[in-house]
Every structure is written in structure tokens, then in C-alpha cells.
Amino acid sequence: MNVYADLNYVVDTGTPPFQYVDWPEKEHEAQPPTYESHRCLIKDGRQKVAELALETYGFKFMKHNSRVDDFYDPNQVSKIYDDEVASLIKSELEASRVIVFDHTFRTVNEKVSSEKNTRAPVKAVHNDYTDRSARQRVQDLLSKNDADKVLKNRFAIVQTWRPINHPVISEPLAMCDGRTIPDSGFVPLQRRYKHRTAETYHISYDPKHNWYFFPEMTPEELIMFKVFDSRPGNNETAFSAHSAFDLASRNTDKPVRESVESRALVIF
């Protein structure tokens, strides 16, 4: 099922954008990005599953039955899901070590969001790490000696995204073929927390972008995608881009999206 949908792309105004996260008393000082909406064709990725790969597209679709029965239980996530994600990524990339360091839960269900402290889907074309923030993340996670060693060699940050509790009908995730993303058009967005500053790339419109999504993904399916690779191989994709989007044809009687995205440091 191919669809047309509006995707929000950043506009480079010349003023560096920044926002405050979980810091309500500073929110009024933020300089949010400026976006413009573009109508884009988003193709049915289920028709290309066998072709998708991290090395080329920057993402792939996988079947995976998790042993977690309640993703909102932090004990199950840390004791079960961390190992599951690490094992999937390690096998896929033949890595020597994988450290799962973050899980973000998203929904537009206000009751669930209030009870479980989730975030809303991000409806803007972006990539979660820049060169600066990826290297900073290595330093945050490892001892100085270990970080120095890793930074001298190849490392990557890889994420997984999956529905939880029911299929995703609303606000699905669109993935951009990394080969169609040029080497320009990136606007760094600082995300300022009380104790650290993160940075993501928000991306300008390019008509060459090719977009895909996977209709009605179930909790037994996931997307794995690269958000940073310090030394991609020849003609290998360093990262993809992604965005949630509104699916005009969705059935409003169906449950709204609930999802978990997980982030991992990959050491080769």
C-alpha cells in the first residue's frame, strides 16, 4: 500500500535551533526549528523486505518475537529486552560488543502517556545523532580509556523500533533510503537537558529522497536502522532518516500508536 503524506522538513534560517527537554522552566527560552511541509510518496516497504539492508538502505525490517510481555515494566525491559536487542544487532553487524543504552516509549494516548511517562511521536524528518553527539555518547557510556580506544576505531549507533501492545495503525514510522540523502542539508538541533546536551540532525527537503513504511506493523515486527557509523565501508550508507507521519486512511476506531525505540552503541 503506497501512500502520499505530508512530511515536515527543516528550513535552514541561519539561526541555530535548540530546545529544552524535561526542563519546563526553560522552555520559553527555546529557539525551535522552522519546518515546511512537503507532500511525499511513501512506498510500501513490505514489497522490498528481502532487498532492505543496513549497508545500503540504512534500515531493514525484521520479524522478532520478544519474551517481554509488558514493555512498560522496566525490570522486564532491562533484564530481557536489552539482551534481545543486543543479540539482534550483534548478529546483524557481526559486532564484537553491543551496549543497549536507551529505550524511548511513544504514544498519542494521553492516558497512557500520563501514566507511563511516554513521549509523542516526532513528526519531523530527522536523524538522532550527529558526528559530535555520537562521539559524546561514547564518552558518556564508557570509561575514558575504553572510550579513547573505541573512538580510534569503527563504531556505530543502531536503533530498533517496534509497536507494543497492538499493531500500529496511526502515526507509523517512515524510513528514508540512506542512499538518497545527499551530503548537505543537515541542521543540527541541540536538545538541552539539565545535565547534558544532545544533538540531532534535522533534514532539509530534497526531491530525491525515497521513503518507505510498513503498513500495520505488529508487536512481532521491528525496524532496525543506523543513525551513525564512524567508518562505513565503500558505498555503504552511514545513516538513514526517519519521521512519524499522519496516515489519512487510518481507522479512528483502532487503538492509537504505542511504540518503543531502542538505541545501542555498536563496537567492532
Q: Mind listing the pLDDT tens digit of every residue in the chain (268 residues)?
A: 999 999 999 999 999 999 999 999 999 999 999 999 999 999 999 999 999 999 999 999 999 999 999 999 999 999 999 999 999 999 999 999 999 999 999 999 999 999 999 999 999 999 999 999 999 999 999 999 999 999 999 999 999 999 999 999 999 999 999 999 999 999 999 999 999 999 999 999 999 999 999 999 999 999 999 999 999 888 899 999 999 999 876 666 788 999 999 999 999 9
**Nearest partner of 10 among 154, 187, 172, 153, judged by Cα:** 187
Backbone angles phi, psi at 167, to 5 degrees: -60, 150
pTM: 0.95
| Average pLDDT over the chain, rounded to an integer | 96
Q: Which of 208, 174, 203, 209 is nearest to 33 (CA)?
A: 203
Tell me how far apart the alpha carbons of residues 53 and 75 are, in angstroms, rounded to a whole number: 31
Give CA–CA dist 239/225, Å, rounded.
8
How many of the other CB atoms lie within 10 Å of CB of 234?
4
Closest to 126 in 3D by CA, of 246, 8, 222:
8
CB 39 within 8 A of CB 246: no
Residues 203-250 have pLDDT tens digits of 999 999 999 999 999 999 999 999 999 998 888 999 999 999 998 766
- Closest to 221 measured CA to CA, from 22, 100, 46: 46
φ, ψ for residue 112 (rounded to 5)? Answer: -65, -40
**Given this model, what pLDDT does residue 136 score?**
97
pLDDT of residue 21: 93
Question: Grid cell 505530508 — which residue?
Answer: 6
Number of domains in the chain: 1
pLDDT above 70 covers a percentage of the chain that reads 99
Q: What is the CA radius of gyration of the chain?
A: 18
Q: What pLDDT score does 250 carry?
A: 60
**Cβ neighbours of residue 29 under 8 Å, at least 6 residues apart?**
20
> For position 254, what pLDDT does the model report?
81
- The answer to whether the beta carbons of residues 249 and 80 sit under 8 Å apart is no
Q: Which domain holds residue 151?
A: 3-267
CB atoms within 10 A of CB 15: 10
